[in-house]
């Protein structure tokens, strides 16, 4: 089967698997990256739904999740950002809103995966956001027709076979060499969590730890995730240094939280400003990264220029101090205590990592000093 193109438009690509396909193309013409996003995203939501017992959604970009979440409550910032009003929202829609709201700048033009069939409520929301495609285990009558009109008819709709199980061994060819490995089938479960220091995690913390582990299993390594209330509020993916992963994930978690700062949340834009533009302005203010030209542009897009506030250091640090109860999950062992020091300043209460570093004693001591619970899993979750 010919694909639209490979990694880049100048590369031809085709699907050559002789197995029964786990994915049916319902609408559109996928590229190779579309397939990689869909296959990784589907595995993530299927596995996370199984271990958490709740509907799960993920927003994928460039073969890593920008966010993943179980269904749950939507706060005022989410409802306002995604024009949801105050009524009840169904579980699969809530899961996707929570996943996309984590990093809305990165999720622009995402590939979506949901663990449950797409209903009319979710299809209606997706008709109003910029995305490239979706994979789901089914679609309610009429929803495919709604989605197929997106992107001038190029939006991808893929249906996953929820019962499909791949072969025990997987392979890839790189520069003429065929590499094979046993598929990573190790169950992600609560019995992997062994407390090394601190208190036993409660049910919500266990859920967040498992969600973080499954998410990192399908994130390009090295990777670290901050997880809170059933959402990966910050993911640092594909960094060569683990402290860079920790800082990147922490920065994203901080931006997510600062978007909830009353001064930022209260900004009112003119009717001509798109949802994505509003979100991008919120992110820039949370990052404290407005240039003078951007400040001028923003003044023309808000109802009153007086709404543009400088989130000074005191406001920023004071609000960040209120971010509490997060879990840091790492796909590999934490080699140095600087990761713990950084995480401790961003409301982290639990640190979940494989363990086994030569400096494990320093990691334990850092957690003891900062009052954090350290949990070892004995499980590395590299993904390349």
Bridge partners of 374, per DSSP, are 197, 351
133 vs 154: CA distance, rounded Å: 9
Beta strands at 156-160 and 23-27: parallel, antiparallel or unpaired? antiparallel
Tokens of 379: 């499980």
Smallest Cα–Cα separation from 162: which of 135, 182, 185, 143? 135
The strand ranges marked E within 90-187 are 110-114, 131-136, 156-160, 169-174, 177-182
Check if 150 is active-site: no
Task: For the domain covering 172-257+320-376, report its CATH number.
Answer: 3.40.140.20
- Catalytic residue, chosen from 27, 34, 40, 61, is 61
Q: Could you tell me what percentage of the chain is helix, strand and coil, using 3-state DSSP and rounding each to the nearest 5?
A: 40, 20, 40
- pTM exceeds cut of 0.85: yes
- Catalytic residue, chosen from 150, 222, 228, 252, is 222
299 vs 269: CA distance, rounded Å: 10
Smallest Cα–Cα separation from 281: which of 315, 249, 309? 309
DSSP string, 201-252: P-HHHHHHHHHHHHHHHTSPSSEEEEEETTEEEEEEES-SSHHHHHHHHHHH
Task: For the domain covering 23-162, report its CATH number.
Answer: 3.40.140.20
CA separation, residue 307 to residues 75, 83, 268, 296, 300 (Å)? 22, 21, 8, 13, 11
176 vs 222: CA distance, rounded Å: 26
344 vs 340: CA distance, rounded Å: 6
**Domain residue spans in the chain?**
23-162, 172-257+320-376, 262-310
- Coil, strand, or helix at residue 332? coil
Q: What per-residue confidence (pLDDT) applies to 310? A: 61
Check if 222 is active-site: yes
96 vs 79: CA distance, rounded Å: 12
Check if 62 is active-site: yes
Instruction: Mark residue 70 as left, alpha or beta (left: phi above 0; alpha: psi -120 to 50; beta: remaining).
Output: beta
Same fold, 23-162 and 172-257+320-376: yes
Q: What per-residue confidence (pLDDT) applies to 18? A: 57
Place of tokens 């929820």: 162
Check if 61 is active-site: yes
- Coil, strand, or helix at residue 278? helix
Burial label for 357, CB within 10 Å (0-12, 13-18, 19+), is: middle
Per-residue pLDDT of the chain (384 residues; tens, 9 = 90+): 888 888 899 999 888 875 678 999 999 999 999 999 999 999 999 999 999 999 999 999 999 999 999 999 999 999 999 999 899 999 999 999 999 999 999 999 999 999 999 999 999 999 999 999 999 999 999 999 999 999 989 999 999 999 999 989 999 889 999 999 999 999 999 999 999 999 999 999 999 999 999 999 999 999 999 999 999 999 999 999 999 999 999 999 999 999 999 888 888 888 899 999 999 988 988 888 788 898 888 888 887 766 666 666 667 788 888 999 999 999 999 999 999 999 998 889 999 999 998 888 999 999 999 999 999 999 999 999
The DSSP output letter for 19 is: S
Q: What per-residue confidence (pLDDT) applies to 28? A: 93
């Amino acid at each position: 089967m010919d694909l639209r193109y490979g990694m880049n438009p100048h590369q031809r690509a085709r699907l050559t698997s002789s197995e029964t396909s786990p994915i049916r193309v319902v609408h559109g013409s996928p590229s190779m990256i579309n397939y990689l996003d869909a296959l990784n995203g589907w595995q993530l939501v299927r596995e996370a739904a199984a271990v958490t017992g709740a509907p799960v959604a993920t927003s994928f970009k460039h073969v890593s999740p920008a966010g993943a979440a179980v269904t749950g409550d939507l706060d005022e910032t989410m409802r306002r950002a995604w024009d949801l009003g105050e009524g009840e929202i169904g579980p699969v829609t809530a899961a996707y809103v929570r996943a996309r709201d984590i990093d809305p700048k990165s999720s622009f033009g995402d590939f979506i995966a949901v663990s449950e069939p797409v209903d009319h409520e979710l299809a209606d929301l997706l008709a109003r956001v910029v995305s490239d495609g979706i994979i789901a285990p089914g679609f309610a009558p009429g929803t495919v027709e709604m989605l197929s009109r997106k992107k001038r008819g190029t939006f991808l709709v893929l249906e996953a076979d929820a019962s499909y199980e791949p072969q025990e061994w997987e392979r890839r060819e790189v520069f003429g060499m065929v590499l094979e490995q046993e598929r990573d089938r190790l169950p992600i479960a609560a019995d992997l969590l062994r407390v090394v220091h601190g208190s036993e995690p409660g049910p919500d913390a266990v859920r967040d730890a498992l969600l973080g582990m499954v998410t990192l299993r399908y994130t390009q390594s090295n990777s670290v995730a901050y997880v809170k209330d059933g959402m990966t509020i910050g993911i640092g993916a594909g960094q060569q240094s683990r402290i860079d992963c920790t800082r990147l994930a922490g920065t994203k978690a901080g931006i997510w939280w600062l978007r909830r700062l009353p001064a930022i949340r209260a900004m009112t834009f003119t009717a001509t400003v798109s949802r994505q533009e509003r979100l991008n302005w919120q992110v820039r203010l949370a990052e404290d990264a407005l240039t003078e030209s951007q400040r001028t542009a923003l003044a023309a897009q808000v109802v009153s220029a007086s709404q543009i506030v400088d989130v000074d250091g005191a406001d920023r640090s004071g609000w960040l101090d209120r971010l509490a109860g997060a879990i840091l999950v790492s796909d590999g062992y934490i080699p140095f205590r600087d990761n713990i020091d950084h995480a401790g300043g961003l409301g982290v209460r639990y640190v979940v990592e494989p363990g086994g570093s030569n400096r494990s004693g320093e990691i334990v001591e850092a957690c003891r000093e900062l009052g954090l619970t350290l949990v070892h899993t004995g499980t590395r979750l590299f993904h390349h």
